Amino acid sequence: MAKDYFYQNWGHTYYFQKDCSRLDDGFYNNWGNAYYFGDGGVLQKNRKVTVNLTSYWADNNGVLTPQFDNGVNRYIINNHIGHANITYYNAIPENITGTYSGTDDGKPNMIVVHETANPNDSIWGEINYEKSNYNSAFVHAFVDSNSIIQISNTDHEAWGAAYPANGRAVQFEQVEVYGGWNFAAELVNAAYYTAYKMKQYGVYPRIADGYLGATLWSHHDVSRYLGGTDHTDPDSYWSNRAWTNFGTGYGMWDFTMLVNYEYALLQ
């Protein structure tokens, strides 16, 4: 039996997984790169590959490079900006909330992206504030250009976007940063955390475009489609930083493309 094994035949490369099944129509991640084995299990080479609305170029070795339309996302790929590791800091008492009340299995089935709307505070300033005021509101994690800090157990609800979203969502805040590299690096950290949590809970990226079963939401999306809140973040923050530093826009479609790539690297 072929187990965790590459097989060459008929001019093609195939991969048999640890359970001995052939990888068909799926990503493979190794050596810091993503690869895609398509229909019939063939490693894709020297061609454009489109998966989940995100396009990649597969080179002669099968290494995938995203073909992003957005200038911020292209800057991230061209400068090889990687993500931080997740740091865990227990700032919120675990028993303040239970498992997710809005899902059948008590597990989260969506991610909500927030932005602090505080131009003068640091990531630890925001964390310490929530540590002292969690009875009013709190999220699961914060990100900036250097850090991903989870402050609350994502197996339990957070109070960041009202209900019904609180009953379904892992939620995190982006701290406001300045400068093109810092903004790009923060987006990478945000996309990685989103992809990591989706992978953890068996959720696949799907942007909230009015579909209530979607998995990736901005706080503004929650206001528009689920209700219970009237916030519009992170729209203006993303637009301001993208235009100031890159002369382009940035929205949830652009972020979703980045999440898709980080998700592919976790396969």
Query: Which residue from 151, 186, 147, 189 is spatially nearest to 170, judged by alpha carbons?
Result: 151
Range with lowest mean pLDDT among 107-116, 246-255, 258-267: 258-267
pLDDT in tens, 138-159: 999 999 999 999 999 999 999 9
Arithmetic mean of pLDDT, 6-12:
91
Q: Is there a common fold for 5-67 and 86-265?
A: no
Query: Which residue from 92, 93, 163 is spatially nearest to 128, judged by alpha carbons?
Result: 92
* Pair type for strands 169-174 and 110-115: parallel
Report the SS3 class of residue 193.
helix
CATH 2.10.270.10 for domain 5-67: yes
Query: Which superfamily does 86-265 belong to?
Result: Peptidoglycan recognition protein-like (3.40.80.10)
What's the gap between Cα 47 and its chain centre?
26
Arithmetic mean of pLDDT, 219-233:
97
User: Where are the chain's structural domains?
Assistant: 5-67, 86-265
Residue 267 predicted with pLDDT over 80? no
Arithmetic mean of pLDDT, 75-96:
96
